[in-house]
Copies of this chain bind each other. A is one copy, B any other.
Amino acid sequence: MIVLYHNAASTCSQKVRLVLAEKGLEYESRSVDLIGGGQHDPEYVKLNPKHVVPTIAHDGGVFIESTLINEYLDDAFPKPALRPAAAAGRHAMRLWTTRIDELHPNAGIITYGIGTRPMLMTRSAEEIDAHVSQIPDAARREQRRSVIAHGVKAPEFAGAVRAFTKVLDAMEQSLSQHPWLAGDQFTLAEAAALPYVLRLDHLAMTPFIEARPKVADWYARVQARPSFDAAIRSQLPQPIIDMFRKNGAAVFADVEASLRT
């Protein structure tokens, strides 16, 4: 039995849920409340010393780091294969999963700066500080503090939006050459990239996707798969999506303007 410690809205959790769904693997779900600080619970930190989701427990082992969990799942449950058979294709796939890992910190910046910030601003400074001060990595902690304080005006914000458009541009180029990011088949690269494109959509940055026809088409194809229903659509609470979209629409002009700074 696979036990999955995850959060409905977390990009890295979505990556792993997509792979579990593509492979038709059942799992016992343990939801971690990221706003409530469940990731800092000492019992959870024993499993995941980085204080992040997801984590899986399987076959007596504990596995962390979403990209490596997905490689693990394809090693442990090879069918259907979610990695290309050829070495060059596998390298192309891993370049994508690495590129998305590098993009990941920017997702935290735009999510907290646009989506979560208005809700957090209703809390007291002490509550926010108690939440942020538990992030173990100092650089990530200070960045989170800055983004909650300054939103789209935070010094980190424009660079984060540019990191996203750079990845979208690279996706557009790859998808002009073959139907999926790493070639002719749906791979771990799709599972890696989807949650980040979805996040842009949820933060009302949908025009960024629509401006790139190959990405828009890919996004529609990924959403049409049963795995999207199982891993994301059926799990993500509509009130969170509605809140993200509303908050995103309110600052979209600033988000677009940040690209011109």
Nearest-CB distance from A71 to chain B (Å)?
6
What residues of B have a CB within 8 angstroms of the CB of A63 in the complex? 88, 91
Cβ-closest 9 pairs across A and B: A75-B87, A76-B87, A72-B91, A68-B94, A61-B88, A75-B90, A63-B91, A72-B87, A68-B91
Query: A231 CB to closest chain B CB, in angstroms?
Result: 21
Q: Given A59-B88, A61-B88, are A95 and B76 neighbors across the interface (CB < 8 Å)?
A: no
Q: Report chain B residues within 8 Å CB of A133.
A: none
Q: Which of B65, B69, B90 contacts A71 (CB 8 A)?
A: B90
Which of the residues B72, B88, B90, B91 comes within 8 Å of A88, measured between beta carbons?
B72
Residue of B nearest to A56 (CB): B91
Hey, what's the 0/1 contact readout for A46-82 against B, CB within 8 Å counting as 1?
A: 0000000000000101011101110110011000000
- Contacts A63-B91, A69-B91 known; 14 new A-B pairs at CB < 8 A: A59-B88, A61-B88, A61-B91, A64-B95, A65-B95, A65-B98, A68-B91, A68-B94, A68-B95, A68-B98, A71-B90, A72-B90, A76-B87, A76-B88
Q: Specify how many copies of this chain sit in the oligomer.
A: 2
Q: Can you list 25 A-B pairs with a CB-CB distance of less than 8 A?
A: A59-B88, A61-B91, A63-B88, A63-B91, A64-B95, A65-B94, A65-B95, A65-B98, A67-B98, A68-B91, A68-B94, A68-B95, A68-B98, A69-B91, A71-B90, A71-B91, A71-B94, A72-B87, A72-B88, A72-B90, A72-B91, A75-B87, A75-B90, A76-B87, A76-B88
